[in-house]
Amino acid sequence: MSAPRTDLLQGTLDLLILKALALEELHGMGISRRIAQITNGAFEVKPGSLFPALHRMEEAGWLSASWGEAETNRRAKFYKLTRLGRRQLDAETAQWERISLAMASALRAT
């Protein structure tokens, strides 16, 4: 039952999920496809880490879930950002930008 080791990754995954849902609500498959698309295929999120993350974020109140119709009339669970989730997205985006800026300048330094 070893929990996925995602200390750094978890933050990344959360941010990616929040970002993926920023435009519209999506079901699990949709989220993983959207992430692949917006990261140019750099991240492929496996269901083994996706579902625990989604449920954790729902517990945290960032996402809300409801059952709906998918493309081919299949029932699927759709996730969308809550107000809290949108705020979290803004906060994490700002945080990420600070980190990436700092990392970039650190790596440029000689």
Partner 1 sequence: MPFRRLKNLCRNILRKQRADHDLDQEIHSYLDLLAEEKTRSGMTRDEALAQARRELGSVEQIKENVRDIRMGVSMDNLLQDVRYGLRVLKRNPGFAATAILTLALGIGATTAIFSVVDAIVFKPLPFPNAARLVRIRSVVAAAGAGGGVASYPDFLDLRARNHVFEGMAAVHTNDFTLIGPREPLHILGAVVSAQLFSMLGVSPALGRSFLPAEDSPAAAGGANPVILSGGLWQRQFGSDPAVLGRGIHLGDQMFTVVGVMPPAFQYPIQAEPVELWTTIALDLRGGVNAVAAQRGAHYLDVAGVLKPGVEIRQAQSELAAIAANLNREHPDNKARTVRIVPEIQSLIGPIRDPLLVLLGAVGCVLLIVCVNVANLLLARATGRRKEMAVRAALGAGRLRAARQLFTESVSLGLLGGALGLAMAFASLRLLVRLIPAQVPRLDAIGLDGRVLAFAFLISFAAGILFGLAPALRVSGISLTASLRESGRGAGSGGREHSRVRNMLVVSEVALAVVLLLGSSLLLQSFRHLTQADPGFNRSHVLTFQLDSPAGRADARIPAFYRDVVARIGLLPGVQSSSAVASLPLTGENFLLSVEAEGQPTPMASRPSVDFNAIEPNYFRTLGIALAAGRDFTERDDSKSTPVVIVNRAFAARFFPSQNPIGKHVRPGIGGGAGEPPMREIVGVSGDVKQSDPGSAAAPEIYAPLAQVRLDPVYIVARTANDPRSIIAPARREVAALDRTAPIYHTETLDQYFAESVAAPRFVTLLLTGFAGLALLLASVGIYGVISYIAAQRTHEIGIRLALGARKGEILRMVIAKGLAPALAGLAIGVAAALRLTRLLSSLLYGVSPTDTVTFAAVSLILMGVALLACYIPARRAAKTDPMISLRYE
Closest CB 81 distance from partner 1, rounded Å: 17
Return the number of the residue (2 or 110) whose C-beta is nearest partner 1: 2
CA distance 23 to 98: 23
Return the number of the residue (61 or 101) whose C-beta is nearest partner 1: 61
Question: Helical H runs in 1-110?
Answer: 7-20, 28-38, 47-60, 83-108
The number of C-alpha atoms within 13 Å of 103 and in the hemisphere containing its C-beta is: 6
Residue 48 makes contact with partner 1 by CB under 8 A = yes
Residue 11 structure tokens? 């933050």
Return the number of the residue (9 or 70) whose C-beta is nearest partner 1: 70
Residues 83-102 that bind partner 1 (CB under 8 A): none
Among 51, 90, 101, 102, binds partner 1 (CB under 8 A): 51
Residue 56 makes contact with partner 1 by CB under 8 A = yes
Amino acid at 104: A
